[in-house]
Structure 1
Amino acid sequence: MDDRTSRYTLPEGVRIRSGSLQVYFKRKKKYYSITLPFPVSAEGIRAAVKVRRDLITKAEWAILTDNDIAVARGDAVADDGVIVTDGALFQEIAQKYLKHCEANNDSKNDYISALNKHWMPQLALIPIQDITSEIIRDIISDIGFKSDKTFNNCLVPLRGVFDKAIELRLLTPADNPMAMIKNKKVQSGLPDPFTRDEMNALLNWLDKNLTDKDHFYYWYFEVAFWTGCRPSELYALRWKDIDWFNESVIINKSRVRGVEKQVTKTHTAREVYLNDRSKRAFEAIEAMKLSDDYVMICPETSQPFYNEKPARMRLIEAMKATRVRRRPAYNARHTYATMLLMSDVNPVFVANQLGHSLQMLIKRYGRWLHGDQNKIEISKLATD
C-alpha cells in the first residue's frame, strides 16, 4: 500500500511502496522504477538518493545496463564493486567546472561535447580522488584520437575538472593525475593569404555580379580585405565606433552566433586606421541605410549577422567564377596583414592594426616581413 505522505517529505525521485524504498526517474524517453533493498530509515533514504543519482548518470551517458539495475535491486553483484560510492564523483565536479567556466559559448559547447563523448562514459561515477594518471592513459589509448590537435583540445576540459577539484580542496596539486598527461606538439600551418591580384579579381567579380541588396557583400569584403578585422569583430561593429574625422574605427567587441561579447578574441581593444578603399566601403554601406546601429546587416534577414556563412558563400561563388584557389573567407585578414608587410610598413603598426603582439606577428607572418627581399637573397645562390 502506498505511503502517500512520503511524497511530501522524501527527496525527489524517492518514494515508499509496500514498505520498501523505490527510486524513479525518466531519461531518454524511458521510465525507470526500481525497488531497493534498503530499510525505510534515514540511512536507507540517503543510500537511495545516491543510487538514483548514479543510475541517472549512467542512463544519461547511455551506459546503464540490466546488471546495474539488478545490482540496485540487490539481485546481483556489481562488476566493479558496489554502485553506491563515497566521495565527490567526477561527474559532480565536471558539472561545477562547466557551471563556473568563463569561456565563450562556442568553447563551452566544445568542452561539453568532449566531456560527454570521451570522458564521462568512463569516469562519471568514479570518485575524483580515485582517478589516476594510469586510468586516464588507458582511456586515451582506447579512444585513439585522430589528430594531436583534437587530443590537446579534448584535454582542456579534463584538466579543468581536476583544477576545479583542487580549487574545492578535494585534491592537492601533488595528487592531480593530469600533471602526468602532457599535450602533444602540433605543427601550426602557415597563413594562406590571397595575393593582391587574386584579391582584386575577387572584388571585381563581386562588384560586377552582385546586384541589388546582394551588392552589399562587395562592400563587406572591401572592408574585410582592407581593415584585417575578424568577421566576429565586423559583425559587432556599430556606427558609433567609426571615427570619420580621424578616419579610424574602434574594435573592442565581437559577435559570435548572435551573441555579442564586450571583448575581442584576444581581449585587446584597438584602433584600426582606414585607407581610401576601406573608408569608401564604409561610406557606401552607410548610404544603403541598412541600420542606424550595426554597420553590418545581413541583406537576407535585415538583422545583424548570426554567423559568417552568407558572406562566405558569396566569396566561394567568386572563387569558382574567377578560378582563384579556394581558401576560407577569414583569409582576407591574412591578406591585409601580408600586404602591409610586403609594402614595408612598420611591423609594430601592423601588429597594432591586427591586435597582435609584435612577437605573435613575427611568429605568424615572419616570411612576409621582408617583402620580396627573400627572393632576392635566394637568387644570390649560384646553381651552376
Structure 2
Amino acid sequence: MVDKTNSKALPTGLRIRDGSIEINFTHNKQRHYLTLPHPPTTEGISTASKIRAELKNKAKWGILTDADIASAKGIDVADNSIIVGKGVLFQEVAQTYLRRWKGDKNTKGNYVNILNFHWMPNLALMPIHTITHDDIQDLILAREFTTAKTLNNCLIPLRGVFDTALKSKLISENPMVGIENEKVQVGSPDPFSRAEMTALLNWLDDNLEGKDHFYYWYFELAFWCGCRPSEMLALRWSDIDWFNNTMRISKSRVRGIEKTVTKTHVEREVYLNDRSTRALQEIQKLGMSKDYVMICPETNEPFYGEETARNRLVGAMQACGIRHRPAYNARHTYATMLLMDGLNPVFVADQMGHSLQMLMKRYAKWMHGDKNKIEMAKLKTE
C-alpha cells in the first residue's frame, strides 16, 4: 500500500483520509469533498484522479448531476440511467447514442466535440421528453452558425440522439422533424489544364531532391489515376495487379485512421496507363515499404494525412505562377482529360467511383471536349 499522507505527494485535489481517498473540486462556487471506494494504492490514486477530472469537466459544462456524484461514490444507479424529475436527461441519451455508434473513431470523436460544444450546455440537464421543436429552433438561431455546412454537420449527432430516444420509446414524437438541412452551394470542379499539369510536374521533377523527389512520383500518380488523396494514402502493394494493369481501390486513410471503405462505400478497379504504371514502378524502386505504397519520406511511416504532399504542390504552383487550387483538383484533372479525349462516360464514372448521374452533374461542361468552343466560335457578335 502506498502511504501518501503528504498532500504535496498526491495529484491536485486528492488526499488520503482515514485509509480512503478523498477528492475535492469546486462546483457552483461550492467546494465538494467526496470519499471514493478505492484503496490508497498507486492504481487507486490514478483512478481517483481520473474520476475527479471527469467530474470537473462535467461541472465546467454545467451537466454535473447528483447521479454522477453517487456513481463516483460507488452507489449503483439503477439501469445505468440518470433520472431527474420525470424523465431521462438529454445527456444520458447522448451517451447511449455515442456508445452504440458503429462508425469510425474519427467521426465519433467529431460528434463528441459537436455535442459537447454546441448542444450540451443548453440541453444536457433537460429531460429529453420535454425538449420541443421550438426549443431546438431557438437554440439553432442562438448559436449563429457561420455556414450552412457547419450547421448541417452539427445537426447529424443531434438527430442521432433524438432517433435513439425515439427507438428507446423515451419520446413519442421526434422534435427534429421539420428541421431541415440548409442548402449548401457546391463548387464546380476546378481542374488544371494539361499545360498547367505539365508545368507543375516538370517543376517537381527538377526541384525536389533526395527523399523529397518521391513527391514528384506521388503527383504523377495522382494526376494520372484520379484517386482521392485518402484512397492513395491507403493503397497497398497487394492492391496492385501488375499482370492486368489495374489497382483495387477499397480503403481510405483519414487523419491516420484506416477505413475499410472508400468515401462512397464502393470498391472499384482503376485501370493503369503508361504514366500511372511508371509512377508506381518508380515508387516501388525506392523500397520504402513492402506494405503501403505511400510512405512519408520524413517519418518513414504511412501518411497521417495529405498535408505534406499538398504543400509540395502549393510550392510548385507558386513557383510556376499558376493560380492556386487545392491539390484535390489533380483528381478532377484526370476526369476532365478522360472526358475531353472522348472516353466513354460510363467508363470514366467507373474509374472515378461515381455514378453516371453524378459524373454528368459534376463534369457536364467537359463532356464535349473542345466542341463547346467550336460552337461559340460560330456566334457572330458584330
Report the TM-score range of the alignment, normalised by the length of the smaller protein: 0.7 to 0.9
Do the aligned partners of 2:106 and 2:257 also contact (CA within 8 Å) in 1? Answer: no
Please show how residues 106-255 of structure 1 align to structure 2 within 5 Å. 106-172=106-172, 175-255=173-253
Q: Secondary structure at the match of 1:177?
A: coil
Matching residue of 2:320: 322
Distance 1:375 1:226 in 2: 25
Q: Scaled by the length of structure 2, what TM-score is found?
A: 0.80
Distance 1:205 1:326 in 2: 15
Q: Secondary structure at the match of 1:303?
A: coil
CA-to-aligned-CA distance 1:228-284 (integer Å, 9 cap, x gap):
111111111111111111111011111122221211111111000011100011110
Please show how residues 26-45 of structure 1 align to structure 2 within 5 Å. 26=25, 32-33=31-32
Where does the alignment leave 5 or more consecutive residues of structure 1 unmatched?
1-22, 36-51, 65-82
Change (3 A) 1:299 1:350: same
Do the aligned partners of 1:249 and 1:272 also contact (CA within 8 Å) in 2? Answer: yes
Shift of 1:171: 2.0
Distance 1:31 1:108 in 2: 34
Matching residue of 2:358: 360
Q: Which of 372, 375, 378 pairs up with 1:374? A: 372
Aligned residues, how many? Answer: 327
Q: Secondary structure at the match of 2:32?
A: strand
Shift of 1:124: 0.5
Q: Secondary structure at the match of 2:184?
A: coil
Question: Which letter does structure 2 place at the counterpart of 1:289?
Answer: G
Shift of 1:382: 2.7
Matching residue of 2:257: 259
Please show how residues 80-119 of structure 1 align to structure 2 within 5 Å. 84-119=84-119
Where does the alignment leave 5 or more consecutive residues of structure 2 unmatched?
1-21, 35-51, 65-82
Do the aligned partners of 1:57 and 1:124 also contact (CA within 8 Å) in 2? Answer: no
Percent identity of equivalent pairs: 62
Do the aligned partners of 2:24 and 2:33 also contact (CA within 8 Å) in 1? Answer: no
Q: Scaled by the length of structure 1, what TM-score is found?
A: 0.79
Shift of 1:25: 6.2
Please show how residues 338-357 of structure 1 align to structure 2 within 5 Å. 338-357=336-355
- Over the residues paired in the alignment, what is the CA RMSD in angstroms? 2.7
CA-to-aligned-CA distance 1:46-95 (integer Å, 9 cap, x gap):
xxxxxx9xx8785141578xxxxxxxxxxxxxxxxxx9433111111111
Change (3 A) 1:26 1:251: farther
Change (3 A) 1:144 1:266: same
Shift of 1:138: 1.0
Distance 1:31 1:205 in 2: 64
CA-to-aligned-CA distance 1:19-59 (integer Å, 9 cap, x gap):
xxxx976589x994179xxxxxxxxxxxxxxxx9xx87851
Shift of 1:109: 2.6
Question: Which letter does structure 1 place at the counterpart of 2:32?
Answer: S
CA-to-aligned-CA distance 1:320-359 (integer Å, 9 cap, x gap):
1111111111111111111111111111111110111111
Distance 2:246 2:118 in 1: 46
Matching residue of 2:15: none
Do the aligned partners of 2:26 and 2:32 also contact (CA within 8 Å) in 1? Answer: no
